[in-house]
Amino acid sequence: MTVGIGDDAAVVEPQRGTLDVLTTDTLVEGVHFDQAFVSPADLGHKTLAVNLSDLAAMGAAPRVALLSLVLPDAMTANALDALVEGMLALAEQHGVALVGGNITRSTGPLVLGVTAVGSVRRRRVLTRSGGRAGDELWVSGALGAGAAGLACLQRDPPAAPASDTELTDCVEWYRRPAPRVRIGMLLGRNRTARAAVDLSDGLGDGLRQLTAASGVGATVDGSTIPIAPGAHRWFEHNGVDPLEAALAGGDDYELLVAVPRTHRRRFAAIRKLTRGVPFTRIGELTKAPELVLRTTSGNRPIPVGYEHFKQA
Amino acid sequence: MTVGIGDDAAVVEPQRGTLDVLTTDTLVEGVHFDQAFVSPADLGHKTLAVNLSDLAAMGAAPRVALLSLVLPDAMTANALDALVEGMLALAEQHGVALVGGNITRSTGPLVLGVTAVGSVRRRRVLTRSGGRAGDELWVSGALGAGAAGLACLQRDPPAAPASDTELTDCVEWYRRPAPRVRIGMLLGRNRTARAAVDLSDGLGDGLRQLTAASGVGATVDGSTIPIAPGAHRWFEHNGVDPLEAALAGGDDYELLVAVPRTHRRRFAAIRKLTRGVPFTRIGELTKAPELVLRTTSGNRPIPVGYEHFKQA
């Protein structure tokens, strides 16, 4: 950074030979979160995480972030400190410099905005549109944790039973998701993945986005979709089909990628570098434009979108 | 632009040999504007203008912008269209591409955020901190128009008398300020100006920022401060000292620059290229750290900040 916070704008030296990647995402109290069960530090973490997840899906290395805070009068200085510290802790973890920002008063809800800027070499950009029929579809991590964690917190009392550590993990994931930054960068190397999208709005939405941008369809084998064990139990216990929930639930921040069959060995090598984050093959891209879910009870269309679990 | 709206993030090619300049600013309904007298198209214009003004104060050429819209349910599709069109019209005027954005629902006020990214050659960056004792202080345009325009609109009925075209100009300036993008870029050439700040929060605030960052003081000759004629009359008519109002009033978006005496000829040459925007010499930077205003009734301290005219 050449000029930072305190001038009219921040000045940053671009990384030689790379492209700038830019994304902005905003979280609004009462729409995206409820302060009753998400702490200011969680919010700081999450607002940045959501943006870093977008950069990860482009294969970009995050570099700098700008913060926009719209604060209700009721917000205390302590809460603000905690929020900024929660964000800075995640920023540090990923080598991101907070170079600018803007704080203003709100006459209504707390509104948190981040713009994150990363860099990527031209030949390593992961777009949504690069998928081709025949490519294998893989997802990182496990799905449903964000949705189950949120559903837990919307209960009274807002918590998972302490005895169920797997469900507690889901709540923690909802509060502090880990953006797959390193994995996104690895997948861009040697063009191992041909297309990628993050699952902030659920697997169903991610499949729709990737296939629409690539001009293809997809077939997904329901039995292979990895569902977080705590989430799986929670959904079953509450009479929700875990598969539907994992497809529709948002807040997962995993990556869905399309890998050409010819890159299988490259991809296998990368899967050894993910520091314990598993990848699961869930299906493939097809020439036919439909989104088909194969289940033991037959084929059905894939539910799309995450409105299902969105807060009122 | 390599990848635009519709992917996880936008991908932009940096301009060879330049630095990235980044700024973010957010306007909040009820804090920064009142929809009773500012149209959606004005708001779109103004939100971008505020950010371009920050880039101008760095000597940067604006390139791309990202938009964050937090919309109340009551906002109509027509209003949203008008807002985006107002922004795009200004963007086009300055060759700015809108490469990304984020739209979400608000449970409260309308919140408009823009992150603007520009580029500048390393030796042309205008910071706030480059001023030295002895440098001349100059301001672009005329001051007070934003404050007088706003004060007019806060009356009932919210308008300037149509017969007073100079006051109508002030209202128009409040609604649709013209960021001094081209002038900022000219001033960065050959390092003609040594420091710059935009006057979004008033001349008093700008003087404080520039002198504090440069580690100097300033003496300003009150009789030389250029005040928009319509604003001058409005203030006098309403029993407000025009000088105080011009110092304290925000929403001016003019530039305050420090020019070394040795660069006088360079600066004179640049003043011929501003397409009719005047520059006025108002004082100089001093070794003594005070901010002194010379008036016919003696010296006094310079009022700082724009809280004065801020909406409740």
pLDDT tops 50 at residue B308: no
Are B131 and B40 in contact, with CB atoms under 8 Å apart? Answer: no
Q: Distance from B203 to chain A by nearest Cα, in Å?
A: 14
pLDDT of residue B1: 47
Q: What percent of chain B shows pLDDT beyond 70? A: 96
pLDDT tops 80 at residue A161: no
pLDDT of residue A159: 73
pLDDT of residue B58: 96
pLDDT of residue B48: 98
- pLDDT (mean) for A209-226: 97
- pLDDT (mean) for A226-251: 93
CA B82 to CA B127: how far, in whole Å?
35
pLDDT of residue B51: 97
- pLDDT (mean) for B36-47: 96
Measure the CA angle with vertex B289, ends B287 and B294; round to 5°.
90
Measure the CA angle with vertex A188, ends A183 and A191; round to 5°.
135
Q: Around B212, how many Cα atoms within 13 Å sit in the side-chain half-sphere?
A: 10
Q: Where are the alpha helices (DSSP H) in A158-239?
A: 165-175, 181-188, 203-214, 229-237
CB atoms near residue B289 (< 10 Å): 11
pLDDT tops 60 at residue B306: no
- pLDDT (mean) for A177-201: 94
pLDDT of residue B285: 98
Interchain contact, A8 vs B66, CB within 8 Å: no
B104 closest CB neighbour out of A31, A58, A66: A31
CA A243 to CA A236: how far, in whole Å?
10
pLDDT tops 50 at residue B225: yes
What is the CATH topology of the domain spanning B18-124? 60s Ribosomal Protein L30; Chain: A; (3.30.1330)
- pLDDT (mean) for A276-284: 97
Report pLDDT digits (tens) over A82-140: 999 999 999 999 999 999 889 999 999 999 999 999 999 999 999 999 999 999 999 99
Q: Which residue has 């030796």 as its token pair?
A: B123
- pLDDT (mean) for B138-147: 97
pLDDT tops 50 at residue B309: no
Are B124 and B192 in contact, with CB atoms under 8 Å apart? Answer: no
B213 neighbourhood in chain A, CB within 8 Å = 6-7
pLDDT of residue B8: 85
Average predicted confidence (pLDDT) for chain B: 92
Interchain contact, A198 vs B11, CB within 8 Å: no
The pair phi, psi for residue A92, each rounded to 5°, is -65, -40
A9 closest CB neighbour out of B8, B58, B100: B58
Smallest Cα–Cα separation from B261: which of B140, B139, B137, B135? Answer: B135
pLDDT of residue A127: 93
Report pLDDT digits (tens) over B188-224: 987 899 999 999 999 999 999 999 999 999 999 999 9
pLDDT of residue B3: 63
B239: left (phi over 0), alpha (psi -120 to 50) or beta: left
Report pLDDT digits (tens) over B53-80: 999 999 999 999 999 999 999 999 999 9
pLDDT of residue B194: 93
A28 closest CB neighbour out of B26, B58, B106: B106
pLDDT of residue A3: 64
Q: Could you tell me which CATH number the domain at B136-309 has? A: 3.90.650.10
Interchain contact, B28 vs A127, CB within 8 Å: no
Report pLDDT digits (tens) over B157-166: 777 777 889 9
B106-134 burial, b for 16+ CB within 10 Å, e for fewer?
Answer: bebbbbbbbbbbbbbeeebbbbbbbbeee
pLDDT of residue A308: 35
Report pLDDT digits (tens) over A23-46: 999 999 999 999 988 999 999 999
Interchain contact, A22 vs B6, CB within 8 Å: no
pLDDT tops 60 at residue A281: yes
CA B286 to CA B215: how far, in whole Å?
10
Are B104 and B70 in contact, with CB atoms under 8 Å apart? Answer: yes
pLDDT of residue B4: 62
**For chain B, what are the domain ranges?**
18-124, 136-309
pLDDT tops 70 at residue B304: no
Which tokens is B301 given? 């301290």
**Please, which pLDDT band fits residue A2 given cuts at 50, 70 and 90?**
low
